Each structure stands twice: as C-alpha cells, then as structure tokens.
Amino acid sequence: MAKTPPTDLPGAVERAGRAVVAIHARRRIPSSGIVWRTGVIATANHTLHREDDIIVTTADGARIPATLAGRDPTTDLAVLRVDASNLALAEIADSDALGVGSFVLAVGRPGAAVTATFGIVSALGPEWRTWRGGSIDRWIRLDLRVADGFSGGALVTSTGAVAGLNTSGLTRGSAIAIPTSTVERVVNQLLATGHVPRAYLGLGLQAGVRLPAALVTKLGRDTDLAPIIVSIEAGSPADKGGLLVGDILADADKTAVHDASDLMDVLSADRIGQSLTVRVVRGGEPRELALTVGERPR
C-alpha cells in the first residue's frame, strides 16, 4: 500500500524555519543558511560571492552582521559566525533514517519570508567524492524543486527535523542534500582551522593506458587498464619523490589504481605527512617509489 503524505507540513516548515536564515552575500536573491549551533550558521559555499559585509536575516526579521569562519569548496560548505545567542537552533536528524520515497521538504529563506517545496528522496547511495575531491558521507538525491535562494537551506523531515543541507552546487541537473554527518564534520573542521585539509601529491593523471598481459600478471592486477601521469607540479610531493611524466601508476599502498578516484580514495586527510609507497611502470618495468603526502595548497 502506498504511503500517504504527512498532513502537518505547515507545522514542519514552521518548526524548521525558525532555524533557517537568509544570507546576503551576493547580488540579487539572498541564499539560505541553517543555525547549526549557537552563533554558528552552516550554508552552501558557492552562494557566498563575497567574504566581507555579510548580513543575515533571521526568522524574526532582524538583520545582523556575520563573519566568515571558513569555507570548503570541495564539499560546498561554509560556516558563518554571528554574535547572537538567542537564535533558534536546528533540530538535527540522522540522515541515515531517510529512505528512498521518504517525504521531505526543502525549506529556505531567500528573503525575509520562509519558503518551502515538497517532494521525496529519489535515490540514496554510499559515500561519494565531489568533482572537487570532497568526501560526502552519503548520496541523497531529491525529487523536488530547489528554487533560487534555496541552496544552503534545510532538507526537512515531516516532523520538522533537519536531515541535510540542500545545494545545487555539486551536481548538474539534480537537487541533492549534504547529509548532517558531513555538515557536522566540516563545520567542526572549519571552526577549528578555517579550512579542511586535503592530501596532495601534485600530479595529473589520464586514464586508459593498457598494460601487456605479462605485466598485468607480474603486478598482480585484475585489469590491464591503468592511468598515465601527464603532469607533475614543481616542488610537489610527486616531484620530490621521483615520479616522472609518462610513468604509468599501477598502485598506491598496494591498492590498484585504475583512475584518479582510486588514488583519491587512498589520499585521506590523515595521510598528510605520512609516507606513501607507489608502484609505477617506467620503460616497461615496475618501479617502487616512496613519497611523503603533502597538504593541498590553499
């Protein structure tokens, strides 16, 4: 039997809307943000076109100044600080409770008044990496309209709890939400350091090189496809470690590398400053090199 939509959607919007603010940091339509904790607002990074003279409009219509605490383009998240201890805080829900077909609302404040659209969760998936290399704990695709100014606003359950932060800045043609676990992790990092550290080798890869069958067997790989190094930044860990343009990257820390995403999976932030053993094919022969993982320049 099909589920019927919940009936108290106005109540859910009202409850969540108390913690949704308008952020004036670009021309024309303001974006939205969520009062994540006392004095802290989470929003979508791509909507902040300036870093100074930011104004926030709260649920009661007050206009207060905000300062940028940090931003992370790779996850499209940013954090603002406001000197206001009386703002209603979002009721944070565990986004793992969402299911495909769950009824949800997108609640934003692209101006003085709260606005909302209604739909369902159309797809859920595991952890994924954005096109900029950021790690998102869960894929949440929405079948609803995210209107102008809604990015940075709340994905809201039928009870009025916030299950994610909506954005149109990470995909083309579909609305998604960043799960609350990712928002919490990035907020903590931005408040602590102002940025999210990213591991870095300083090389560019192009996929699609086919290795000879004998070499595939020698390397212990399950496929003959491997990427070739097409660029190396001067002074980077890859440069200092002895990698060369034209090397074929076979594996990193005994993990087979088929494309750039495989290497990114190995390069977690906790690897910064640590040794990384890579195996390349140079002149038709395997060669093992030790690199020291660096931090991506900001």
Q: Which tens digit of pLDDT belongs to each residue from 169-215?
A: 998 867 899 999 999 999 999 999 998 888 889 999 998 789 999 89
pLDDT tens track for 33-66: 999 999 999 999 999 999 999 999 999 999 999 9
Q: Given a cut of 80, is residue 2 above it in pLDDT?
A: no
Fold of 199-295: Pdz3 Domain (2.30.42)
Domain definitions of the chain by residue range? 9-193, 199-295
Q: Given a cut of 50, is residue 1 above it in pLDDT?
A: no
Q: Are 17 and 1 in contact (CB under 8 A)?
A: no
pLDDT of residue 8: 85
Residue 132 phi/psi, 5-degree rounding, is -95, 0
Residue 201 phi/psi, 5-degree rounding, is -115, -30
In angstroms, the CA 102 to CA 121 distance is: 5
Q: Given a cut of 60, is residue 77 above it in pLDDT?
A: yes
Is the model's pTM score more than 0.85? no
The CATH architecture that domain 9-193 belongs to is Beta Barrel (2.40)
pLDDT tens track for 118-134: 999 999 999 998 888 88
Secondary structure element (H or E) that encloses residue 243, with its range: none
Q: Are 19 and 34 in contact (CB under 8 A)?
A: yes
DSSP 8-state secondary structure symbol assigned to residue 92: B
